[in-house]
């Protein structure tokens, strides 16, 4: 029973971690290097993550500076950002890219909140699926005689507590992201 619980919790932690990564890429009115995590650049014929070919910093609340380690890739980085779904236009000075992050319109804020809610709901569904898998494993163990009925019920209660803990964590992450999107 303990192994089933450990496996379920490990999978739940991974789901929450994946949600954090996804929420970090949703744009807010603030400049953050995390916005560019999903962008890949054509680097000598290979699609390479942007953070592996350049340093990304946010020296001001509305400015991101991208400095490639190899100046020859500057045009490719600029193209990759322009063709991304971030709707941003980098300014190329020949050495670095400066990207002004404009404040979000009310309409865009609502779109981003809707996106964040969808991502959070997918994570909640994943957590509930993990709970279902764990409960099925407990029932199977009971059928095979490895667990008593009381142990199975206790295990299901523990799995439910874990489920609630991670669902609450997802809700807290979503609430924080909504506040971040709404602030100017």
Does 52 lie in the same domain as 22? no
Does 179 lie in the same domain as 109? yes
Does 172 lie in the same domain as 122? yes
* Closest C-alpha to 36, from 102, 94, 85: 85
Does 84 lie in the same domain as 58? yes
Report how far apart, in Å, the C-alpha atoms of 141 and of each of 20, 94, 145, 151 are: 33, 64, 6, 10
The rounded mean pLDDT for the chain is 91
Q: What is the pTM of this model?
A: 0.76
Last residue of a domain, one of 100, 116, 149: 100
Tell me, what's the pLDDT at 130? Answer: 97
Does 96 lie in the same domain as 7? no
Task: Write the pLDDT tens digit of every residue in 140-179.
Answer: 999 999 999 999 999 999 999 999 999 999 999 999 999 9
Does 79 lie in the same domain as 15? no
Distance between CA 119 and CA 147 in Å, rounded? 36
Residue 138 pLDDT greater than 70, yes or no: yes
Does 63 lie in the same domain as 115? no
For the chain, state the CA radius of gyration: 22
Q: Indicate the number of domains in the chain.
A: 2
Residues 6 or more apart in contact with residue 13 via CB below 8 angstroms: 166
Does 132 lie in the same domain as 69? no
For residue 13, give the CATH number of its domain.
1.10.132.20
Distance between CA 69 and CA 93 in Å, rounded? 15
Does 109 lie in the same domain as 23? yes
Does 144 lie in the same domain as 57? no
Tell me, what's the pLDDT at 88? Answer: 84
Distance between CA 180 and CA 33 in Å, rounded? 15
Say if CB 51 and CB 136 are below 8 A apart.
no
Does 178 lie in the same domain as 143? yes
Say if CB 158 and CB 8 are below 8 A apart.
no
Q: Which residues pair with 56 in a beta bridge?
A: 66
Tell me, what's the pLDDT at 27? Answer: 77
pLDDT band at residue 101 using 50, 70 and 90 as cut-offs: confident
Last residue of a domain, one of 100, 134, 149: 100
Tell me, what's the pLDDT at 102? Answer: 85
pLDDT band at residue 135 using 50, 70 and 90 as cut-offs: very high
Q: Which residues pair with 60 in a beta bridge?
A: 63
For residue 54, give the CATH number of its domain.
3.30.1360.40
- What domain range includes position 76? 33-100
> Which single residue is written with the structure tokens 């054509």?
42
* Lowest model confidence (mean pLDDT) among 4-8, 48-52, 83-87: 83-87
Span 42-60, average pLDDT: 91
Last residue of a domain, one of 53, 82, 100: 100
* Closest C-alpha to 173, from 10, 1, 2, 22: 22
Tell me, what's the pLDDT at 62? Answer: 87
pLDDT band at residue 184 using 50, 70 and 90 as cut-offs: low
Does 64 lie in the same domain as 12? no
């Amino acid at each position: 029973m303990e192994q089933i619980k450990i496996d379920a919790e490990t999978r739940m932690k991974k789901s929450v971690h994946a949600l954090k990564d996804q929420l970090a890429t949703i744009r807010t009115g603030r400049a953050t290097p995390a916005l560019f995590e999903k962008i890949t650049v054509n680097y000598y014929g290979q699609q390479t993550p942007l953070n592996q070919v350049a340093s990304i910093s946010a020296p001001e609340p509305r400015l991101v500076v991208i400095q490639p380690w190899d100046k020859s890739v500057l045009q490719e980085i600029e193209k990759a950002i322009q063709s991304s779904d971030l709707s941003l236009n980098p300014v190329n000075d020949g050495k670095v890219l400066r990207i002004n992050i404009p404040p979000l319109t009310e309409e865009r804020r609502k779109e981003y909140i809707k996106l964040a809610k969808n991502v959070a709901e997918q994570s909640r569904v994943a957590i509930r699926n993990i709970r279902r898998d764990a409960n099925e494993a407990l029932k199977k163990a009971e059928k095979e005689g490895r667990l008593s009925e009381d142990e199975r019920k206790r295990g299901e209660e523990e799995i439910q507590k874990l489920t609630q803990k991670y669902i609450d964590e997802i809700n807290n992450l979503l609430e924080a992201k909504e506040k971040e999107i709404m602030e100017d």
